[in-house]
Amino acid sequence: MNLIPILFLHLLVLPAAVIPIGVNYGTLGNNLPSHTEVANFLKTRTIIDRVKIFDTNPDIIKAFANTNILVTVTVPNGDIPSLTNPRNAIRWVNTHIKPYHPATKFHYICVGTEVLHWGPQNLVDNLVPAMKVLHAALVKTGMGDVKVSSPHSLGILLESNPPSNASFRPGWDVGNLAPMLQFLRKTKAGFMVNPYTYFGYSPKYEDFCLFKPNGGLFDKATGKRYTNQFDQLMDAVYVSMKKLGYPDVEIIVAETGWPSGGDPQNTHANPVNAAAYNGGLLKKVTSGAGTPLMPGRKFETYIFSLFNENLKGPSLDEQNFGLFRPDFTRVYDIGILRGPQELPTGPSGPSSRPAAPAQGKKWCVPKSNATPAALQSNIDYVCSHGTDCRPIQAGGACFQPNNVRAHAAFVMNSFYQSNGRHDFNCDFAQTGVITFTDPSNGSCEYRA
């Protein structure tokens, strides 16, 4: 049954030449197509002209050679301190960029991801110095056309509503963001932000989050009315930059999106809402309308994400941000494909719809806003209190995906199941939540 409003078919089939739109290409899935197939698909079948990846995977970089698609790569957060050393920076450039340049059109190097938000402090302190040294290394090796920036969560904002009252958080504003903005202005690079309206969703403001008709919010100080949360958040970033003296620096939307499926309690994660948000976003950023405080401005934008990724988690929401399934069929239609648009297809397959709740069974998983530091603390606590943590160690059934969130999910659930299965056993200083959907994945089985 076609659930997607037909309106999108008419409004969003736009000429490829006027749509500079990007996508985040994640690879946390065991059923994804080859990188060469992905590059060819994007080049020949879609209007997407740029991609952002979360590492420097040489196979991906080589796959995009001679495609004319702009490629943005990412320095892992943990590598940031070493790049403050000029020799290390040149070595990094010679290893990860120079062998593939200019056949692959590198656009940006993202130094870390949401570093200020996640920390720790030594990474925060070294972020801007690393950006400067890496830029100097690119210039020295003849690749000064590759820009350097770093994406931020909107946790950098102290306030965002109303936008006129927005500002960056004290300490980060002068200590980190002002020097970064100065560097970005000097190198003509963009300030990257990740404005997810999904994570600020409430039923009361659903239409406001999804670019649907609504009464909007009025900012008395500026006399501007906001009819969608994207504009509100972007203007909050702009006002915060302006207060530091950098209103002229370009703003790049490095990540934003909406999942087409999720855990049973997250009923707003569905294909209709995902199409509404991403379709409205696409129309907004390619229209040239700008925002109330930035009229006429276009924003380089990267939708999150290209594919549904079945190894992400632990929530099903995180697995279902994709525009496409691994077989290249659309999860929903917003006009991303070139040429005649086949009828939109609804979600199908286990990676794009919520799994049926298991009767009478409950699991404990991290909340979506739990920080890595808090989750690592949970791991340390659980593993020091008698829980068998061998499955998350190297070679264990639950070692992959090898990240703090996945490991914390497994051990938090093990603790919950072993200690009475009371809701308070899943509190973990308010970083745990009960789910009725089995988070088991492949050979990694969660107790229930």
Residues 6+ apart with CB under 8 A from 119: 373
Eight-class DSSP state of 334: S
Catalytic residue, chosen from 37, 114, 206, 309, is: 114
Annotate 380-390 with b (16+ C-beta within 10 A) or e (fewer): eebbeeebebe
Structure tokens at 155: 């946790």
Strand 251-256 to strand 224-226: parallel, antiparallel, or no bridges (unpaired)?
unpaired
How far are the Cα atoms of 12, 66, 123, 224, 279 from residue 288, in angstroms, in the given order?
14, 29, 36, 18, 15
How many Cβ atoms from other residues are within 10 Å of residue 438's Cβ? 16
Cα-based torsion angle of the residue sequence 221, 226, 231, 235 in order, rounded to the nearest 10 degrees:
0
Structure tokens at 427: 């509190």
How far are the Cα atoms of 162, 227, 257 from residue 195, in angstroms, in the given order?
15, 16, 9
**Kind and range of the H or E run holding 281:** helix 271-287
302/21 Cα distance (integer angstroms): 7
Specify whether the CB–CB gap between 73 and 106 falls below 8 A.
yes
229 in helix, strand or coil? helix
196/186 Cα distance (integer angstroms): 28
303/323 Cα distance (integer angstroms): 9
Active-site residue 37, yes or no?
no
Provide the terminal-to-terminal Cα distance of the chain, rounded to the nearest Å.
35
Which amino acid belongs to residue 317? D
Which amino acid belongs to residue 78? G
Catalytic residue, chosen from 37, 250, 255, 342, is: 255
Strand pairing partners for 106? 71
Residue pointed to by tokens 């087409």: 260
**Active-site annotation, residues:** 114, 255
